[in-house]
Amino acid sequence: MVRSSKPSVGLWRPAEAMVGGLRSMSGGSHDFLQILCIEARRRVSEGYYRVPRIEEGLRVEGLREAIAKCRGNAVIAEFKRASPSLGAISSSARTDYVVRAMEMGGACGISVLTARERFGGSLEDLKTARAVSKLPILMKDIIVSEEQIRAAHELGAQTVLLILRAFKRGYTEGTLSQAIRAARGYSLEVLLEACGRDELLEAMGTDADILGVNARDLSSLKVEKRIHEEAVRGVELDDRILVAESGIETAEDIRRLRSLGYRAFLVGTSIMRSVGVEAKTRELVMA
């Protein structure tokens, strides 16, 4: 994918215009996704995502292309230090060492958590991953602002994750279509995440490059592996690339999901917790 050098496409309202909304969202009870979005909007307002552009390196293919060309199972290996449900996973892991091991294990792409709170992520982890890997990189964050999309571009990512439910519930600065257009303006692909069949059908009606089904309900943080199966039941995927997210631990999980029509698999915790990152990645790729 040829990377654009365009300035901000300006399709969303500026982050400063949303700061007042933090206070109005912070009272009462919420689903957990709302809390994650509050924290993301606070990071935006604090300037966390205002980063300088890294030096251009060699051309890196897009994640969609990498998935389509993958000879084994298309595993998107995720570098994550912690999660809201499990707490610390591998808080002291060296980004360069782990990402190289994931690539050597045959991963088709790398996902990097960049949210500080609850995930222990950092933009520096993304920057390091880009420096040491030739694979397409997915910036995984709770995207609520165009400023985050711009940061993904500046730090060398090829893809951003957008959560359909966050846009449907109005937790973001703009609409989903605006976010997708903003990503396109920065020459980024969009992985649009759904949870369940209804959301998947809605996602299929968008211009997202890649679709994902998360077996973890971000409103409650519960993982229900049956969601992967129920979401695709009776759904004609045609040529859409579908990624299975969450709850993937074993080669058998990969085989089961593949039989359901999933073409790629986003795996983080089981790889990060394994004794050998390269070996675990290869096990899933070769399943």
Catalytic residues, by residue number, are: 78, 80, 140, 193, 214, 245-246
Q: Which of 111, 114, 137 is nearest to 40 (CA)?
A: 114
Spacing of C-alpha 229 from chain mean position: 21
Give the C-alpha separation, 45 to 245, whole Å.
Answer: 29
Residue 7 burial by CB count (10 A; 0-12/13-18/19+): exposed, middle or buried?
exposed
Q: What's phi and psi for 240, nearest 5 deg?
A: -70, 135
The rounded radius of gyration (Å) of the Cα atoms in the chain is 17
**Paired tokens of 201:** 């059908």
Q: Which of 158, 145, 139 is nearest to 63 (CA)?
A: 158
Q: Which of 281, 278, 248, 244 is nearest to 264 (CA)?
A: 244
Contact between 171 and 144 (Cβ < 8 Å): yes
Neighbours of 38 (CB within 10 A): 19
Instruction: Return the residue matching tokens 């995930």.
Output: 119
* Cα dihedral sign, 25-30-36-39: positive
Q: What's phi and psi for 222, nearest 5 deg?
A: -80, 140
